[in-house]
Structure 1
Amino acid sequence: MKFATYSADGKTHYGAVTDDGMIALNDDFPAWPTLLDAVRANGLAALAQAAIGKGLSHTDFQYEMVLPNAPRILCVGVNFPDRNAEYKDGSAQPKYMSLFPRFASGFTGHDRPLIRPPENHTLDYEGEVAIVIGKAGRRIAQDDAYDHIAALTLCNEGTIRDWVRHAKFNVTQGKNWDRSGAIGPWLVPFTDANQLDDARIMTRVNGEVRQDEALSRMMFPIRREIEYISTFMTLQPGDIIVTGTPTGAGARFDPPRYLQPGDVVEIEVNGIGRLRNTVEDEVV
C-alpha cells in the first residue's frame, strides 16, 4: 500500500493511494495529524490496516510534497562513478561522501510544476531515490542500516546550477529555491532489501531518457550512507536521505540542456513508482 499527503476541498489530508483516488486516514488517527506523525509513531502498518474496506474519500485532489513538514533532509552528492567523471577534474572516487541540506520549502508534489525563478534560468533535474527513516539511531552499522528505513519515495532534486557556484565550499543556495524540486508521489513502506538492491532510476525529459542507472552502482551504497550520517548525528524518524543522482543531468550536456517552461520531467524507479512534474516560470 502507498501513502500520500494531498489537498482536497481546501484542506490538507493524508491517506492511502488507490487507482481510483484517495482514502483519507488522518481523521481516523487524531494523534497523528500529519503523515510525518504516523511515520514517527511507526504507524504505516496501522494506516494500511485502517484503509482495508474503507471507501474512497477524494477523487479530485492535488498531491503535496509527501512529507511537507519534514524537519531534516540530507542529500548525497556525486554518488555514481560516471557522475564523478562528469566533473572532468581527474579525481578518483572520494573517500567520503558529499552531503548538503535541503529544506521542505524547496519541494513540491507529484504533478505540480517546478518553479524557475526570474533571477536565474539554469534550473536542472536530478532523479533520485529518497529513504525515510523510521527508527532512531546513532552510529548505525551497515548490517543494521535497512532496519532503520520506514519507507521509500522519489525525488527530483531540482537545482539552480549557477547558484551552486556562488561560494567556494557550499551548494546550499542553489539547492533550496522554493518549489524547485519535488518529493513524492507517495511513501512505499520498506519491507524487503530487494526494493533498493534491485532498483533502477530512469529520468525522462519530454519523453527522452536522460538518466538510466542501477542503484547497485552507487559509490556510497545506502547502507553506507546511513552508517556515515548516523556517525555525526542521531537519525530520527521522519528524516529524509536523498541518496544520489546518476550521470545525465542537463548541466553536463554541451551545450547544457536546462529545463524550460512547458517541459515535463518524469522520474521512475521500479517498485516505487513515477514522479512527474511540469516546469513553469515564477510569477512575480
Structure 2
Amino acid sequence: MKLLRYGEPGAEKPGAVDADGNIRDLSSVISDITADTIADGSFARLAGVDLATLPVVADGARIGPPIRRIGNFLAIGLNYADHAEETNAEIPAEPILFNKAPSCISGPYDDVVLPPDSEKSDWEVELAFVIGKEARFVSEADALDHVAAYTICNDISERSYQLERGGQWMKGKCCPTFGPLGPWLVTPDEVPDPQKLSLWLELNGDRVQNGSTTTMIFPIAEIVSYLSRFMVLEPGDLVTTGTPPGVGLGFKPPKYLKRGDVMKLGIEGMGVQQQTVR
C-alpha cells in the first residue's frame, strides 16, 4: 500500500493511494498514522482494507508528512561510497549515526525555510524507513521483518552549523522544515528489494543527484541490526539512510541553497517531492 496524510498542517487525515492513483480517505478505518497506531497493530491491519469502498479525496488537497508523532528520528551519514568520495571523507568502518529532531519534519511539497543566517544549506535525497515492531539485538536475517514502510526524506543540512560550529552533526540537521518526508509510506510488499532503487534530485530543473541504493555501504538490514545493538528501536522510529553523490558540498566550488530555488526529488516506487526555498 501507499499511505499518506492529507489536509492543512495540524489537521491532516489518513489516506491511501488506490490502483487508479486516487487518494482514498482512511478516517473511518484508522484515526491517524502515528507511532501509536503502528504499535497497536492498526497500521498493519490496513492491508485488508478494500480501498474502492472508501471516499475519494478531492484533487488539490495538501499532502502532509506521511506519519505524525514519530519516535526517534535517526540518520546514517556517509552511507554511499561515491558520496564519501566527493566530500573527501574516509569510507566509514561502521555506520555513522546522528539525530534529526522530529520538529524538523514537514510535508513533501511544503516550503523549505532557511535560518536567517544560513549560508551553506544543502540538499540530500534519501531513502528512509519506519520501524514496525520493537527491535533488540536483531540479526540481519530478521532485520527487514521489523520495517513497516519506506519513504523519501530530503535531509536538508546547514553545512556551516554541521561542520564549523563544534559538537555533533545534528546542529546542522534539525532546523524547522529540514526534514521533508513523503509523499507516501510504501509498505514492504511493494518494495521487494530496497537495495535496488534509483534515487535522484533536481535543483532548478538540473539533475544534480542520480544514484542507486546498490551503492550503499551499509544496507537497510545491516542498519537495523546494527542500531538494535545500541538502542531499542520502537514502532514509529524513523531512520533515514544517507545520500548518493551530487550534494552542494561536493561541487567545486560548493553550491548551496538560496531563496527561490526549487528542489524536485524522487525514489523509484516512492513518488516525488518538490520544495521551494524561502
- The DSSP-based 3-state class of the residue aligned with 1:204 is strand
Written as runs of structure 1 = structure 2, the 5 A alignment for 1:191-202 is 191=189, 194-202=192-200
Q: 1:238 aligns with which of 236, 239, 242?
A: 236
Distance in structure 2 (CA, Å) of the matches to 1:185 and 1:33? 15
* 1:225 equivalenced with 2:226 (yes/no): no
Written as runs of structure 1 = structure 2, the 5 A alignment for 1:237-276 is 237-276=235-274
CA contact (8 A) 2:26 2:54 kept: no
More off after superposition, 163-172 vs 7-16: 7-16
Task: Tell me the CA shift for residue 42 of structure 1.
Answer: 3.3
Give the residue type in structure 1 aligned to 2:40: A
Query: What residue in structure 1 maps to residue 52 of structure 2?
Result: 52
Distance in structure 1 (CA, Å) of the matches to 2:245 and 2:137? 30
Under a length normalisation based on structure 2, what TM-score does the superposition of the two structures give? 0.91
CA contact (8 A) 1:24 1:58 kept: no
Aligned alpha-carbon RMSD (Å): 2.1
Under a length normalisation based on structure 1, what TM-score does the superposition of the two structures give? 0.89
More off after superposition, 257-266 vs 41-50: 41-50
Distance in structure 2 (CA, Å) of the matches to 1:232 and 1:241? 14
CA contact (8 A) 1:127 1:245 kept: yes
Query: What residue in structure 2 maps to residue 23 of structure 1?
Result: 24
CA contact (8 A) 1:20 1:59 kept: no
CA contact (8 A) 1:21 1:60 kept: no
Unaligned regions of 5+ residues in structure 2, if any? Answer: none
> Are residues 138 and 232 of structure 1, via their aligned partners in 2, closer, same or farther at CA, if it must alter by over 3 Å?
same
Give the residue type in structure 1 aligned to 2:25: A
CA contact (8 A) 2:195 2:219 kept: no
> Are residues 199 and 33 of structure 1, via their aligned partners in 2, closer, same or farther at CA, if it must alter by over 3 Å?
closer
More off after superposition, 256-265 vs 174-183: 256-265
Task: Tell me the CA shift for residue 167 of structure 1.
Answer: 4.1
Query: What residue in structure 1 maps to residue 42 of structure 2?
Result: 43
Q: 1:186 aligns with which of 179, 184, 187?
A: 184
Task: Tell me the CA shift for residue 6 of structure 1.
Answer: 1.9
Give the residue type in structure 2 aligned to 1:24: D
CA contact (8 A) 2:148 2:187 kept: yes
Distance in structure 2 (CA, Å) of the matches to 1:263 and 1:9? 23
Give the residue type in structure 1 aligned to 2:206: E
Written as runs of structure 1 = structure 2, the 5 A alignment for 1:102-141 is 102-141=100-139
Deviations 1:156-211 (A, max 9, x none): 00011111124444111110001123111110111266341221111111221111
* Length, aligned pairs only: 276
Task: Tell me the CA shift for residue 118 of structure 1.
Answer: 1.1
Give every structure 1 segment of 4 or more consecutive aligned residues whose post-TM-superposition deviation is greater than 6 Å: none
Deviations 1:86-140 (A, max 9, x none): 2325x3x221111101122112112111111212132210000001111211011
Identity of aligned residues (%): 31
